[in-house]
């Protein structure tokens, strides 16, 4: 299982929207996804609306179940490949049984920078930072990058709500590219009414409008994320090899 966290201490940049749509896109290509809502606003878990307890983990080490008053902490959703849970204990991310059941854990973090978020980030494999192309969002990035470096996590940023008709966006995008280099993913997610409409209709964008242009961008972003995850896997293998040869 690879653990992906959507994080930015700035609010409203698209962490929840990305978590929902990227989890769905990964599920659509056959991956098994555990969505973990770490935000007390509970937007993501409300969207997925956890139903019955996920039978897959009925036998999950009683040890975990004991920690949660309602028994199994993971619920099934209306999507066959997606289960959901509220994060009550970050250590569930380390549980072998959970790690073997899912290809990806996709975490929606709150817009905060504190011990809680640092503890979660420490247990993630890769962090995705949505940013908007406006000065305050860009200025705040150095704090985010310091936090992520302090917890030693690889991360990438991606632009959300890109609007070609806003003159400043193009200049800001070029500036961000020049300064962030590889850290900035190439695919921006456009500002899209379909995204707002879909969430209001309680759907992912793909369900709401199969031909929405924003799906091309989401597809590009998912591809870039998967390439980064592949690089991480390779690095892990190098680490293992390094340890094996002493």
Ligand X SMILES: Nc1ncnc2c1ncn2[C@@H]1O[C@H](COP(=O)(O)OP(=O)(O)OP(=O)(O)O)[C@@H](O)[C@H]1O
Number of residues near Mg ion (by CB under 5 A) = 2
DSSP string of 142-171, one letter each residue? HHHHHHHHHTT--EEEEEEEE-TTSHHHHH
Q: Which helix (H) or strand (E) holds 141?
A: helix 141-150
What is the nearest approach in angstroms of ligand X to the Cβ of residue 116?
14
Beta bridge partners of 199: none
The one of Mg ion, ligand X, none whose footprint includes residue 160, by CB under 5 to 8 A per kind, is: ligand X
- Please identify which residue in 2, 9, 16, 192 interacts with Mg ion, judged by CB under 5 A: 16
Per rule CB under 5 A, is residue 15 in the interface with Mg ion? yes
Closer CB to Mg ion, 10 or 15, in the complex: 15
- Residue 180, both tokens: 């962030």
Burial of 173 (0-12, 13-18, 19+ CB in 10 A): middle
Q: Which residue is nearest to Mg ion (CB)?
A: 16
C-alpha dist (Å) from residue 161 to 120, 131, 211: 26, 8, 18
Closer CB to Mg ion, 64 or 147, in the complex: 147
Phi, psi (deg, nearest 5) at residue 113: -135, 95
The one of Mg ion, ligand X, none whose footprint includes residue 14, by CB under 5 to 8 A per kind, is: ligand X
Closer CB to Mg ion, 15 or 153, in the complex: 15
What is the nearest approach in angstroms of Mg ion to the Cβ of residue 6?
8
The one of ligand X, Mg ion, none whose footprint includes residue 188, by CB under 5 to 8 A per kind, is: none
In the complex, the residues that contact ligand X under the rule CB under 6 A are: 11-17, 39, 41, 111, 160-161, 189, 191-192, 195-196, 199
CA 154, 160, 93, 226 torsion-angle sign: negative
Applying CB under 5 A, which residues contact Mg ion? 15-16
């Amino acid at each position: 299982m690879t653990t992906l966290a959507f994080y930015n201490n700035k609010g409203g940049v698209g962490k929840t929207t990305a978590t929902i749509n990227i989890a769905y896109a990964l599920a659509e290509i056959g991956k098994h996804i555990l969505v973990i809502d770490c935000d007390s606003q509970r937007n993501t878990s409300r969207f997925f609306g956890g139903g019955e307890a996920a039978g897959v983990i009925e036998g999950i080490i009683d040890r975990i179940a004991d920690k949660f008053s309602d028994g199994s902490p993971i619920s099934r959703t209306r999507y066959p490949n997606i289960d959901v849970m509220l994060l009550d204990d970050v250590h569930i991310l380390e549980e072998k049984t959970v790690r073997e059941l899912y290809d990806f854990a996709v975490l929606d973090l709150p817009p905060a920078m504190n011990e809680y978020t640092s503890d979660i980030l420490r247990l993630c494999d890769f962090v995705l930072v949505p940013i908007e192309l406006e000065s305050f969002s860009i200025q705040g990035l150095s704090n985010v990058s310091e936090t992520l470096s302090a917890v030693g996590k690889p991360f990438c940023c991606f632009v959300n709500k890109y609007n070609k008709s806003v003159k400043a966006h193009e200049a800001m995008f070029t500036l961000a590219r020049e300064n962030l280099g590889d850290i900035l993913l190439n695919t921006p997610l456009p500002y899209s009414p379909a995204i707002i409409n879909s969430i209001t209709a309680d759907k992912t964008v793909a369900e709401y409008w199969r031909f929405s242009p924003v799906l091309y961008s989401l597809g590009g972003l998912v591809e870039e994320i998967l390439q980064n995850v592949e690089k991480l896997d390779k690095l892990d293998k190098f680490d293992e090899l390094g340890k094996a040869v002493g």
